[in-house]
C-alpha cells in the first residue's frame, strides 16, 4: 500500500527539483525526506529516483507516480470534504491567504459576512505575495487563497489547485497631476472607463517607480512598456502601492497601479486607464470545492465582489 504522505513528498520533489527544497518546504531534514522516499520505492516495488552524487532525478516510474499522486491527493481532499459535509455546523480554523490590496479591500466585508453566518469558524488571514499562495495551499498552510495575474503576463495554473474567477480590474498609469490636463480625473470613474490609447508613449523618457525585480508586478510593467515600444527607466523600487502612489504624488516618477490600489488615491496623482487588466482568482486544493467551509468562503467572497462592483467600489 502506497503511503499518501510519501506520495506528497514525491510530488513535491517533482515540482521543486531537489530533496533540500522538499525538506525546507515541509520543515524536515534532507535525510528524513530521503528515508521516506526510499520507503516509498520499496512500497512501489520499482526504482523511483536516479541518484548521481548528491543529485537525484525521477525515473520514468517516478514521474508516472508523481503525476498520479495529484489524483490520489485530490481524492483524499474530496473524502475529507465529504466527511466535513455531514458534520453539524461549520467549526474550526479557516485559513485565508491574500495579497495586500485584497486584504485591505476585498476581505473585510467577506470576513464580517462569514463570521455572522458561521460563528463557529475561526477565521485566520495571512497576507502573502500571490506567488507564495500556491505553495501554501499545497502544503496545507492555507485553505483558501487569492491569486492574481495580468493579461499581459499570464501565470500558468498549478495542477494541484482549482480556481474560480473573482475579479478583473483596470490597470492605471499613475502620474503626477500638474493640473494642466482636465481630461483625466485624479480619482477613477466607478464604471465605463475607456482605455486611453498610447497613454504610455508620453512617458517613455520619464522616471519610473517599479516593483522589486523578480516580482510579477515588475515583470508586468516591463512587458507593458516594451509592448509600447520602450523600456522604463527605474528611479525607485517599491512593492506597496500606497508607497508607490505617495512617490508619484511627490513627483518622483510614474507607475502602473491596479484599481484596488486606488480606491482613495492621494492628492496630486492623475490616473489614466489602460487596456491592461489584473485578474484575481480564488484558489483551493483539488477536491476541496465541496468542503463546507471552503464553499462558504468562496461563495461569500464572490457575493462581496459582486456587491462591491454594483456600488462602483472597483
CA distance 79 to 56: 33
Grid coordinates given for 135: 505553495
Q: pLDDT value at position 87?
A: 66
CA distance 5 to 11: 10
CA distance 234 to 213: 11
Query: Could you tell me the end-to-end alpha-carbon distance of the chain, in angstroms, rounded to an integer?
Result: 51
Of the candidates 232, 239, 163, the residue with the CA atom closest to the CA atom of residue 200: 232
Q: pLDDT value at position 311?
A: 83
The Cα-based distances of 7 to 4, 26, 35, 78, 158 in angstroms read: 5, 13, 13, 17, 17
Q: pLDDT value at position 186?
A: 47
With b meaning 16 or more CB within 10 Å and e meaning fewer, what string describes 199-238? Answer: bbeebeebbbbbbeeebbbbebbbebbeebeeebebeeeb
Q: Where residue 246 falls among pLDDT bands split at 50, 70, 90? A: very high
> Which pTM does this prediction carry?
0.77
**Which residue has 512593492 as its cell numbers?**
239
**Residue 167, Cα to own-chain centre: how many angstroms?**
13
The Cα-based distances of 232 to 36, 108, 211, 224 in angstroms read: 49, 35, 12, 10
Q: Which residues contact 195 (CB under 8 A, 6 or more apart)?
A: 170, 273, 274, 275
Q: Which CATH architecture has domain 4-85?
A: Orthogonal Bundle (1.10)
Domain boundaries, the chain: 4-85, 89-166+280-311, 168-275
Q: What is the pLDDT of residues 105-137, one digit of tens each?
A: 999 999 999 999 999 999 999 999 888 899 899
Other C-beta atoms closer than 10 Å to the C-beta of 64 total: 14
Q: What is the pLDDT of residues 22-74, one digit of tens each?
A: 888 887 888 888 888 988 988 888 888 988 777 788 999 988 888 888 888 88
Q: What is the pLDDT of residues 154-166, one digit of tens each?
A: 988 888 899 999 9
Grid coordinates given for 195: 482605455
Structural Rg of the chain based on CA atoms: 23
89-166+280-311 domain in CATH 3.40.190.10? yes
Q: Which CATH architecture has domain 168-275?
A: 3-Layer(aba) Sandwich (3.40)
Render 56-111 in DSSP notation, one character per residue.
Answer: EEE-HHHHHHHHHHHHHHHHHHHHHHHHHHHSSS--EEEEEEE-HHHHHHTHHHHH
Residue 251 φ/ψ, nearest 5 degrees: 75, 20
Residue 240 φ/ψ, nearest 5 degrees: -85, 125
Q: pLDDT value at position 85?
A: 64
Asked whether the domain spanning 89-166+280-311 has the same topology as the one spanning 4-85, the reply is no
Mean pLDDT of the chain: 88
pLDDT at 241 over 60: yes
pLDDT at 8 over 90: no
Q: pLDDT value at position 147?
A: 94
Amino acid at each position: 500500500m502506497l503511503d499518501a504522505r510519501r506520495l506528497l513528498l514525491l510530488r513535491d520533489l517533482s515540482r521543486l527539483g531537489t530533496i533540500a527544497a522538499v525538506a525546507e518546504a515541509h520543515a524536515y531534514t534532507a535525510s528524513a525526506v530521503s528515508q521516506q522516499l526510499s520507503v516509498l520505492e520499496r512500497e512501489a516495488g520499482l526504482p523511483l529516483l536516479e541518484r548521481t552524487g548528491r543529485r537525484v532525478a525521477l525515473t520514468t516510474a517516478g514521474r508516472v507516480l508523481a503525476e498520479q499522486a495529484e489524483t490520489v491527493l485530490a481524492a483524499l481532499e474530496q473524502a475529507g470534504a465529504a466527511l466535513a459535509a455531514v458534520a453539524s455546523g461549520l467549526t474550526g480554523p479557516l485559513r485565508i491567504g491574500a495579497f495586500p490590496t485584497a486584504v485591505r479591500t476585498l476581505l473585510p466585508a467577506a470576513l464580517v459576512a462569514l463570521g455572522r453566518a458561521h460563528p463557529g469558524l475561526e477565521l485566520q488571514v495571512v497576507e502573502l505575495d500571490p506567488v507564495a499562495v500556491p505553495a501554501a495551499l499545497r502544503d496545507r498552510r492555507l485553505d483558501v487563497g487569492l491569486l492574481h495575474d495580468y493579461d499581459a503576463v499570464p501565470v500558468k495554473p498549478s495542477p494541484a489547485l482549482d480556481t474560480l474567477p473573482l475579479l478583473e480590474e483596470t490597470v492605471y498609469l499613475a502620474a503626477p497631476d500638474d493640473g494642466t490636463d482636465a481630461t483625466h480625473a485624479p480619482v477613477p470613474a466607478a464604471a465605463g472607463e475607456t482605455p486611453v490609447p498610447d497613454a504610455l508613449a508620453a512617458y517613455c523618457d520619464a522616471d519610473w517607480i517599479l516593483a522589486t525585480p523578480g516580482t510579477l508586478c515588475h515583470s508586468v510593467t516591463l512587458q507593458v512598456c516594451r509592448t509600447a515600444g520602450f523600456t522604463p527607466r527605474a528611479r525607485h523600487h517599491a512593492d506597496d502601492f500606497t508607497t508607490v502612489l505617495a512617490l508619484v504624488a511627490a513627483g518622483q516618477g510614474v507607475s502602473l497601479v491596479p484599481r484596488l490600489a486606488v480606491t482613495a488615491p492621494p492628492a496630486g496623482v492623475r490616473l489614466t486607464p489602460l487596456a491592461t487588466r489584473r485578474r484575481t482568482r480564488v484558489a483551493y486544493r483539488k477536491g476541496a470545492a465541496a468542503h463546507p467551509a471552503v464553499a462558504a468562503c468562496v461563495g461569500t467572497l464572490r457575493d462581496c465582489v459582486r456587491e462591491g462592483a454594483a456600488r462602483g467600489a472597483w
